[in-house]
Amino acid sequence: ELEGGRFGYGRFTPDWLQCCNNAKGFLVGYSFFVIVQGMLVNGFVNVSITTLEKRFGLQSSETGIISVGYDIAFCILTMFVTYFGNRSHRPRIIAIGAFILGLGALMFFLPHFTTGLYSYEDGFETLCTGKEGSDGCTSSSSYLSNYVYVFIFAQIIHGIGCTPLYTLGLAVIEDSVPKESASLYLGIGNAASIFGPVLGYGVGGIVLGIWVDFDKVASDEITLTPVDPRWVGAWWLGIMISMACAFLLVIPFAGFPRQFKGTAKYRRMKTAEVDKDTGGEVAKNENFGNSYKDFPKALLMLAKNKTYVLVTLADCSEAILLSGFTTFLPKIIENEFQQTAGLAAIMAGVISIPGGIIGHVVAGLIIKCFKLRTASILKFNIVCCLCVCALSPSLLLYCRNRDVAGITKPYGNDTTMEGLVATCNEDCVCQEEFYIPVCGLNNVNYFSACAAGCKEVVPNGTLTYYNNCSCINVEPVDGWQAYPGNCKTNDCNSLGPFLAVFCFCVMFTFMSSTPALVVTFRILPEKIRTFGLGVQWLFIRALGTIPGPIMFGNVIDLTCILWQKRLCDDSKGSCWIYNAKDLAINALIISIAVKITSSVLFGLACFFYKPTSETEPGDDVTKEEEMVDNITATVNEAFESDLSDTELEKCKTFSENGELYTVL
């Protein structure tokens, strides 16, 4: 096997670059790549879900499909990339993937430059005048919902670019370090993947506070503020930043060698915990995997490995929950705790930082320090899943919905709610397409000043107030009865406890991710290890991360109590108000159901697991096997190096653990 190539580009391989030519250097590059990938796909895209719904008139079920476009491409390519890519120059394939990821980001933010300015009122009459204003079809005659296909295609390009990263990249790391250190390296790599979404949420929250068309419209022409439900932030700005970072990542990965020094030795040392049936079948054929004809045989071997199949199904179950909350957690916080989209995104990032990083790193350290074998790791995952079940009731910490006349609270003294039209405003002819809330002095929100029956505007400097409102039975203060925006509520203090407890849910969820990956690498023989990881990712995407956001999106849509009513085609647009209680209960049911399913699958995997070597570390047989592997690798390295005949002669006899060995 080709060992220890130099880091560089063609003939440019200076010594000062060789500090990167090892597993640690590759781990740094891998970490930066997963940060950029997470920042783009799991950060900026997800944090912009609510904004994209408003800007392009989409529903949650449609934005859920945008999220899974990435996974669709991953499913299509992963088996072929891992089977054939494992024998190719893996770092260079990853470099090509980084370039493709940049192209996908370019396509994703292009709709901002191919559409007109964002219009949020369309000439509607805001007061109760009894006259019908514009129907909104003149200035926005064609809705932008068809751009959903552009976003889906861009996400597919993202998936193509990242397929080598989470398959070949992880395999390079696992191949390049000793078995006892692999869990820590993989844990650090997975922990780095948390920074990406966190950066996406944090920076995304900042850019969403900037007007979407700031590059086309002067700031003094913008009359809305970020707290206004019609506000749309600069969702495209973060995507543009990710594009630049992805193109820069091509440089380091193009310089890594095919494999690092010591890779062959480490591969030989990782055979004791391979599943007995699969390992024996591969061992019978030394050339297995060198031909495309072995492709179906490899699939059949994986299907026969019960532990592998059950761990894969458990990962699929976990992926449903992770992808769903990753996509919609900012939206859940926004609607359950009445926060702006930008602030909700930042809060989602805040609880993901400590929970995700601590979960990955601590799990890797536990496996390394306690030298957990495969069966013990599977039991550890069961405990983590049960801990999440115990903490899941924190999802019931929510704030009740604001009082919105006709939606969550009847108009006046009426005992029934029949929509936005009531006796007090039936002659107003109000638009029902754009949510332009006002707060009355009775501390009740109204869909618009028109819905509140207001017939008079009261100017007050830069602010605008409303008076003579037939639906507000309160004496005016300083000549006004209502002001723009939602009423400020201070009767809910659930956000702090929710964030604190949910952070631990995140931690225990991620504590089972790295161990599950370690199990997959340990139970498969080296020749099909990367391929097995690719097939596993295929099922995780197909059965987990693809249906997860779609399922969450549909469940969230079921809790909507006020839909946008498009006037041009009389169809539903995005949702303005969700029922916070129903949203919390649905999220709780999904969480507990998924975690119980994962626990059962990890338990069955542990039951069916049978290692190649039945002896535990410390038994003489296992010690001797590991010792022989070390001796073989040491001698091979000596003979492959440029040693003199005298030095080679010295390598033929040496001692190991007090015993003298002779190399024949």
587-444-331 Cα angle (round to 5): 25
> Taking residues 418-423, what's their average pLDDT?
82
pLDDT at 193 over 90: no
pLDDT of residue 397: 92
**Homologous superfamily of domain range 23-115+145-259+279-400+492-608:** MFS general substrate transporter like domains (1.20.1250.20)
- Apex 154 CA angle, 150 and 159, nearest 5: 145
Using CA atoms, how far apart are residues 146 and 394, in angstroms rounded to an integer?
A: 38
Model pLDDT for residues 37-61, shown as the tens digit of each residue: 999 998 899 888 878 888 887 877 7
User: What integer pLDDT is reported at residue 28 of this predicted model?
Assistant: 94
The string of pLDDT tens digits covering residues 390-410 is: 999 999 999 999 999 999 888
Q: Tell me if residue 362 falls in helix, strand or coil.
A: helix
Contact between 77 and 534 (Cβ < 8 Å): no
E strand residue ranges, 123-263: none
d(CA 582, CA 400): 10
CB 173 within 8 A of CB 189: yes
The Cα-based distances of 300 to 442, 520, 535 in angstroms read 69, 16, 12
Domain ranges of the chain: 23-115+145-259+279-400+492-608, 423-484, 620-662
Please, which residues have CB within 8 angstroms of residue 638's CB and are 6 or more apart in sequence?
647, 648, 651
- Cα of first residue to Cα of last residue in the chain, in angstroms, is 21
Separation in Å, CA 425 to CA 307, 409, 492:
65, 15, 31
Q: Which two tokens stand for residue 366?
A: 């536990």
Higher confidence at residue 191 or residue 498? 498
Q: Under DSSP, is residue 457 helix (H, G, I), strand (E, B) or coil? A: strand
Tell me the per-residue pLDDT of 446-474, one tens digit each, with 9 for 90 and over: 999 999 999 999 987 767 899 999 999 88
Global pTM reads 0.75
Q: Is the pLDDT of residue 169 over 60?
A: yes
Mean pLDDT over 15-43 rounds to 92
C-beta separation of 213 from 113 below 8 A? no
